[in-house]
Structure 1
Amino acid sequence: MAIVSMPLLALLSLLAWLPTPVSAQSERPATAVIASDAERQTWSDPLEALGTVRADESVTLSATVTEIIRAVHFEDGQRVAAGDLLVHLEDLEEQAELAAAQARLVEQRNALERARGLAERNLGARAELEDARARVQQAQADIEAAQARLAAHRVQAPFDGVVGLRDISPGMLVSPGTALVRLDKLDIVDVDFTVPSRHLGALSRGQTITASTDAYPGRRFSGRVTAIDNRIDPATRSIMLRARIENDDGALRPGQLMQTILERDRREVVAVPESVLLPQGEHQYLFVIEREAMTVERREVEIGERRDGWVEVVAGVESGERLVRHGIQKVRDGDAVRVLDVADEDNPIREILRRHRDSLDAEQNRP
């Protein structure tokens, strides 16, 4: 009897070490996981640089005559339209000169009419008629000169924009070259930035840039390259680019420092969150969730570049496929899973874990 029981005991021991049948494995409870989807994104090769904001149009209006300021027609930071009167200088003498020139024109025109009448009746010399016409033309030129002198006493906005701080007052004596007001067009601004000249072959007009500034944390401004300088700085071996940015709300100001990112070689890629990858040696794997069967498939993928927590997948996954992102260490190929939620920018993993903490604790404590 003892001789028969020894092989039986050996057989029982061997059976205890055999793997669990597939049917038994399929009876395991579904593992709770958090998922993310493979996304199609637009990527580029970023080139970072520091830039400076410039107004699309900018001018400092100055006096062209020596005169006293009669009136100031703007306030600090006021938005003005092209043609608006900004500064009015004393112009009584110029107005008197204009009135005198206009009176002389009337007089010379009357003289011309008389000379024409005499010439038609052959009572006057032809030369006198020509002299009268010349005097009329001279009177007209005098009026235009008087109007030009009068216009020099009225400083108008050459384009729509925003004026700077006011540093002048009525009664102030100004002379040619005295700055009266600064005017900037700010609905569109330019950002000038330099990049190493070795990138010249990859630069072109129309490329997209993203700019940010410490004044507005978290805000991004988009623009396009409008010009590339035709010279390279021999000292720094860099080249200057100019990009245009819409600035309807006036957030950006001339002279402001900007951190710019120039997007080169834009392309469409399939990207996945970096945390879905399971590296093993030189290979990369992830778990794809079969949505109907709610099981996972372990799949090898070929990856490319990495960007801010995302990884480019060159082969192995298609856009829209659902992947295990949290709980990847607890699942095996073919396991059944239960998706608690899909994580994205608006629904981070931390918030999902907070909402499902009790169910996750129960999952971990389950034998």
Structure 2
Amino acid sequence: MKRIIVAIALVSTLGLTAWKLLDNKEKVAEKVYKPNPNLKVGVRTAKAEVRDLSLESQFLGSFEANREIEIRPQAGGEIVQLPIVEGQVVGAGKLVAKLDDDQLRYQIEALEVQIEGYKNDLKRYEALVKGDATPAVNIEKTQLNIRATQAQVKQLQKQLANTTITAPFSGIVTSKMVEKGSVVSPGTPLAKVTDISTLKLVVQVPEKAINQFRMGQSIAVKTEVYPDTEFKGRVSLIGAQGDAAHNYPIEISVANSNAHALRAGMYGTIANTSELKGQSLSVPRQAIIGSTKQPQLYVVENGTAILRDVQIGATTNDYYEITKGLQAGEQVVVSGQINLQNGTPVVAQ
């Protein structure tokens, strides 16, 4: 009897549990959102059209000086003249510094006296040789002494010339490292001269855009300091090797002017435009969903949003070129895709 009662209690418990689970499932199902098949979703659409597209790429860079050099002497000594100040404009050949050259001049003078003595000896030997009073070898030795001493004079004259340090090209003295009276050795930096008569705008261009540039190409340059002025630039260098990020340096030469003076270190921008060949079927960028590897869009057909795979080509700031999967004149969804599924009824707003 006890076993029958236990069995009946167990069956009752299982039945109650099953009924409770079924009841909970029905309540949960009632709470799940079920889209109304007759409710239309509002979307914005645009027409796929054939357009003349252009690819415009903007690149930011900074200006560098055309030339810059640290002036270093080839000789050493005390600086007795230093007629430059920072910010001064110097021309090519302008005196930058003068080193003390007294000792060199004294040595040259002594050697010139010595050469004069050798020449006098040579005249006497030539007279004595004619009378067989001295061997002819004395003439040869004296001639060699003259030549050797003249070579020493040339070396000293070269050192003397090195005591005069001049600017190798026109520019601005952007740094002065020494003062008059300083004693310097060969190779000591004296001053820095920077040539900004022409500047080089250096920009880093990604691999996919490098073929948009060619040597000698004219290109417009804009600057932050003169936003309303457009400078004429010319491509003077296209880098042959890129960095780890596959960016290549491009140099654009820009002539400087007093009216709109540019300085090294300023920012500059170039915008390079290349036209696509012929007409291109395109849609607004907002129409594309998914990834660039698997692009998709919604096409409105008879009031229904149809999800369609497409292939894209070139891109601009506003449009994607469609190379496959779409026909001109079809309406594509450009806003509201988040509420859509394939086959959702829609109404254009």
Q: Map of 1:79-94 to 2, 5 A cutoff?
A: 79-94=89-104
Does the 8 Å contact 1:189/1:245 carry over to 2?
A: yes
Match of 1:228 in 2: 238
Q: Which consecutive unaligned segments of at least 5 residues does structure 1 have?
A: 1-42, 268-304, 308-367
**Structure 1 residue 221: Cα displacement:** 1.6
- The higher radius of gyration belongs to 2
Amino acid at match of 1:238: N
Identity rate, percent: 25
1:183 to 193, 198, 208: 193
Deviations 1:150-200 (A, max 9, x none): 223221111222222434321223333332111122222222221011223
Q: CA RMSD in A?
A: 3.0
Question: Which letter does structure 2 place at the counterpart of 1:203?
Answer: F
Q: 2:269 is matched with which residue?
A: 259
Matches within 5 A, 1:114-129: 114-119=124-129, 123-129=133-139
CA distance in 1, matches of 2:120, 2:54: 77
Cα pair 1:51 1:258 within 8 Å, conserved? yes
Q: Against the structure 1 CA distance between its residues 263 and 205, is the aligned structure 2 distance closer, same or farther, given a 3 Å change threshold?
A: farther
- Alignment partner, residue 251 of structure 2: 242
Distance (whole Å) between structure 2 residues aligned to residue 122 and residue 154 of structure 1: 51
SS in 2 for 1:55: strand
What is the TM-score normalised by the length of structure 2? Answer: 0.57
Pick closer, same or farther for the CA change 1:263–1:69 going to 2, 3 Å.
farther
2:220, 2:76 → 1: CA distance? 47
1:204-241 Cα deviation digits (max 9, x unpaired): 101122223222332222111012122122x1101111
Q: Corresponding residue for 1:196?
A: 206
1:69: which partner in 2?
Answer: 79
**Once the two structures are superposed, what CA deviation does each residue of 1:236-267 show, in whole Å capped at 9, x if it has no partner?**
10111112111143822223332233454699
For this pair of structures, how many residues does the alignment match? 228
Q: How does 1:1-367 map to 2 (within 5 A)?
A: 45-119=55-129, 123-233=133-243, 235-249=244-258, 251-264=261-274
The 1-side partners of 2:275 and 2:234 are apart by 14
**Cα contact 1:229–1:240 (8 A) shared by 2:** yes
Q: Which amino acid letter does the alignment assign opposite residue 199 of structure 1?
A: A
> How many Å separate the matches in 2 of 1:73 and 1:48?
45
Determine helix, strand or coil for the equivalent of 1:231.
Answer: coil
Structure 2 unpaired stretches of 5+: 1-52, 278-314, 318-349
Cα distance 1:216–1:201, how it changes in 2: closer, same or farther (>3 A)?
closer
Cα gap change, 1:128 to 1:208, in 2 (>3 Å):
same
Q: Distance in 2 between matches of 1:89 and 1:112?
A: 37
Pair 1:132–1:46, CA change in 2 (3 A): farther
TM-score, normalising length: structure 1: 0.55
Q: C-alpha displacement at 1:131, in angstroms?
A: 1.8
